[in-house]
Structure 1
Amino acid sequence: MSVGRTQRRLNAALGVFLLAVAVVVVTLLGDGLLATPVLAGQVLLVALAGGCDLLAAADRPGGWAWYRWSGLGNVLLGLSLPLGVFGTAGGSLYLLLAGVGGLSLALLGVDLLVFAGRYTRGTQLDWRDD
């Protein structure tokens, strides 16, 4: 089995998980979700990341290769991480740690999205792209 096929299967599982988390949060909070715009933004970013991961599992959806969709999903998920601790009692230390983690994930996503994994995977994933 190729690395790309295995990675796409992992993207499918991650996409289903992220969308399930978003649905559970929306179901549990209902209208209360709109009362907290930061949480609503985080749930939206998680749902969009899940959708991108599901698209990454498909075979060339929308003309993009799977790794570009996966990269966009990583960027969106990375952007959502700091929102989870924004305004919590932990303060700036937790926000800094979540920001560093989110930035790391987002930069991995940018590498996949823009550079086809050249810097994080050692070889470019688009070597067989049309």
Structure 2
Amino acid sequence: MAYRRQRQVVGAVGLALVAFVAAVLVAAGPPHSLLVAVQLAALGLGGACDLVSAVDSPLTRRVPWYKWSGAGSILLGISIPLGVVPTGSQEGDALFLFGMTVLASLSITAIGVELLLFDGVHLFDDPPDGASASTH
């Protein structure tokens, strides 16, 4: 399997994300803010998608592993800026930090979109599904 190591890394990231969400929920209890609840849900679902992509299962036989990984990356990219959304007074520093975080998370989201929609043809020399980058 050519992508075995990548799947292992994605699985480790997924495990870390799910463990982080579980630890936050155990330590702090249920979120008191809708924003935090959405962020934790996105992190948890992203981690779950990464865990699914790491192992051969009926789910990865129906939907290729790299598409699960792409969905996990998109959810992770969406969740990151939610942690710094400015609330209350819209101070310049808070807006700047939020803007920079959105820009930084766009790269993670773009990788996820590439894997989910374009099967990784722009990321890999030999894409997982065997298609070459020159055919797209």
Q: Normalising by the residue count of structure 2, what TM-score does the alignment of the two structures yield?
A: 0.84
Higher helix residue share: 1
1:16-31 residue pairs with structure 2 within 5 A?
Answer: 16-31=15-30
**Identity within the alignment, %:** 34
1:60 & 1:7 partners in 2: Cα distance? Answer: 17
- Length, aligned pairs only: 125
Residue 45 of structure 2 is matched in structure 1 by 48
Instruction: Indicate conservation of the 8 Å contact 1:60/1:66, yes or no.
Output: no
4+ runs deviating over 6 angstroms: none
Q: CA deviation at 1:44?
A: 0.6
1:25 & 1:7 partners in 2: Cα distance? Answer: 27
Matching residue within 11, 34, 37 for 1:37? 34
Q: CA deviation at 1:87?
A: 2.0
Q: CA RMSD in A?
A: 1.7
Larger radius of gyration: 2
1:94 & 1:69 partners in 2: Cα distance? Answer: 30
- Map Cα deviations across residues 55-83 of structure 1 (whole Å, 9 max, x no partner): 00111542111111000000000000110
Q: Which runs of 5+ in 1 are unaligned?
A: none
Instruction: Indicate conservation of the 8 Å contact 1:115/1:124, yes or no.
Output: no
Residue 80 of structure 1 is matched in structure 2 by 79
Residue 71 of structure 1 is matched in structure 2 by 70
1:61 & 1:13 partners in 2: Cα distance? Answer: 20
- Map Cα deviations across residues 80-130 of structure 1 (whole Å, 9 max, x no partner): 0110101267411111111011111111000011111111224422117xx
* CA 1:61–1:98: 2 relative to 1, 3 Å: farther
* CA 1:21–1:51: 2 relative to 1, 3 Å: same
1:40 & 1:10 partners in 2: Cα distance? Answer: 26
Moved more, 113-122 or 50-59: 113-122
Q: Normalising by the residue count of structure 1, what TM-score does the alignment of the two structures yield?
A: 0.88
1:102 paired with 2:101, answer: no
Q: Which runs of 5+ in 2 are unaligned?
A: 132-136
